[in-house]
């Protein structure tokens, strides 16, 4: 696994020492035999660092899908959008997060809030997919 954190933010991944106990005198810690690498959230949440971007949610149009104002979105551009995925799209030059739906009428962007009607993707609408939302990070306290 490459240095994911570095690839994403330019910052080095936090390095955790492999041996925790200092051996100065006396007996080494019995726990040293069980040392493992500390968990790195980047490894779990980011499959492809070069294609992964973080975006900040503004507004409540996706509340029903568990995406709230101020949440952090992890967006992977290397995934090709498919129906039912939550995607970031560009509508009229703005980023918007919606669920991609397909019906007999064609593709549309569906909000998860009663106040926001779906946006249908037709030949005359200027809509492009920007990336696929893989994770939502929501603060609970």
Partner 1 sequence: MMYALADCNNFYASCERVFDPKLVNKPVIVLSNNDGCVVARSQEAKQVGIQMGQPVFECRDIIRSHAVIVRSSNYALYEDMSRRVVSAILHFIPDVEIYSIDEAFCDLAPMAGRDFDKLCREIRSAVLQWTGIPVSIGIGSTKTLAKIANRVAKRDASTDAVYRFPCDVNESRRVLSETRVEDVWGIGRRWGRRFRQLGVQSALDLAQMPPSIVRSHFNVTAMQTGMELAGVRCHELEAAPAPRRTLVRSRSFGEAVKRWDEMYQAIASHATRAAEKLRLEGGVAGRLSVFIQTNRFRQDQPQHCVSGSCELMPSTNTTPVLVEHASSIGRQLWKPGHAYKKAGVMLSEITFGEMQGALFSSRDDAHDARLMEVLDRINMTMGSGTLHPAATGRHQRTGFMRQEHCSPRYTTRWSELPKVI
Using CB under 8 A as the binding criterion, the count of chain residues that bind partner 1 stands at 33
Q: Closest Cα to residue 114, out of 67, 64, 78? A: 64
The structure tokens 């409540």 sit at 60
Using CB under 8 A, which of 18, 54, 102, 105 touches partner 1?
Answer: 54
Q: What whole-number distance in Å separates Cα of residue 80 and Cα of residue 136? A: 18
Using CB under 8 A, which of 18, 41, 53, 137 touches partner 1?
Answer: 53
Q: Is 128 in the site for partner 1 (CB under 8 A)?
A: yes
Using CB under 8 A, which of 19, 21, 78, 83 touches partner 1?
Answer: 78
Q: Give backbone dihedrals phi and psi of 86, rounded to 5 degrees, phi first.
A: -85, 125
With beta carbons less than 8 A apart as the criterion, state whether 54 and 105 touch. Answer: no
Q: 98 catalytic, yes or no?
A: yes
Tokens of 59: 């507004």
Q: 6 catalytic, yes or no?
A: no
Q: Which residues would be at the binding site for partner 1 (CB under 8 A)?
A: 2, 7-12, 48-51, 53-59, 61, 72-73, 77-78, 80, 88, 90, 93-97, 128, 130
């Amino acid at each position: 696994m490459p240095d994911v954190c570095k690839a994403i933010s330019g910052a080095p991944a936090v390095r955790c020492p492999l041996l925790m106990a200092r051996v100065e005198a006396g007996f080494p810690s019995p726990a040293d035999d069980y040392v493992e690498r500390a968990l790195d959230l980047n490894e779990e949440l980011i499959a492809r660092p070069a294609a992964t971007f973080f975006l900040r949610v503004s507004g409540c149009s996706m509340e029903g899908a568990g995406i709230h104002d101020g949440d952090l979105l992890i967006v992977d551009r290397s995934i090709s959008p498919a129906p039912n995925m939550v995607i970031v799209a560009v509508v009229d030059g703005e980023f918007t997060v919606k669920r991609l739906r397909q019906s007999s009428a064609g593709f549309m962007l569906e909000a998860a809030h009663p106040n926001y009607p779906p946006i249908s993707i037709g030949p005359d609408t200027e809509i492009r997919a920007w990336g696929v939302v893989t994770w939502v990070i929501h603060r609970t306290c």
